[in-house]
Amino acid sequence: MNIKIIDEKEQFAQCETFEITHLLWGTKAIPKTYGKIACWKEHGFLVEMICEEADPLRTYIKMNDPVSRDSGMEAFLGFWSEETPLYVNVEMNANGATLIQSGTERTDRTFFTEEQIRICQPQAVIEKNCWKICFFLPLELLEEIGGPIPQIAGTKIACNFYKVCEGGNAEQIHYASYSPVDVPEPDFHRPEFFETGELQ
């Protein structure tokens, strides 16, 4: 995956799109889900995801609620992949309820505080035939967590993106990823299956 370095936020609209196409753990189909990521030079990282789902399951409303039980979109990002296995997971539902954590594996993860989440400016918008999320991970906040992130061409970032719904009725439950996750049971916290993104 190529991650474009942009100088102005307005350039984000021209970044290339990735699509979540790998159906996991018995999932037969998901609503079309795709997104964009960019490195906004000297500021941080921008992510937008779109799901062509008309009426997503959305029950949770608070920061750090277990939003994966709703219809959710998620981004797992290891900005320090050449130095440490530390990664950040951002999970959102269509209400804009947002869970963000950091850590090196599934267990012992650290939740972002509500103030840190607000700094990331998470937003969700429900439209007629789709819903969208976007958020911003500020460079200053990321570097407090994991150390310097060179915002130069060639820097490598570990990443994966997911569409999930673990609640509702049996027909609503689904799992899918951008990069395939080859384990027998649902588990997105598997950095060994993250894709390598390279800043361009």
- As averages over each run of 10 residues, the pLDDT of the chain (200 residues) reads 97 97 97 98 98 96 96 97 94 98 94 97 97 98 96 96 92 95 96 96
Please give the pLDDT value at position 82: 85
Please give the pLDDT value at position 55: 92
Number of domains in the chain: 1
Please give the pLDDT value at position 142: 97
Contact 158, 146 (CB under 8 A): no
Cα–Cα distance for residue pair 69/165, rounded to 1 Å = 5
Please give the pLDDT value at position 43: 97
Please give the pLDDT value at position 168: 83
Domain span at 114: 2-199
Contact 76, 160 (CB under 8 A): yes
DSSP-assigned letter for residue 31: -
Give pTM, 2 decimals.
Answer: 0.96
Cα 67 from chain centroid (whole Å): 13
Which residues does 195 contact at the CB level (< 8 Å), separation at least 6? 1, 158, 159, 160, 178, 179
Please give the pLDDT value at position 41: 97
DSSP-assigned letter for residue 47: E
CATH number (domain holding residue 72): 2.60.40.1190
Please give the pLDDT value at position 171: 85
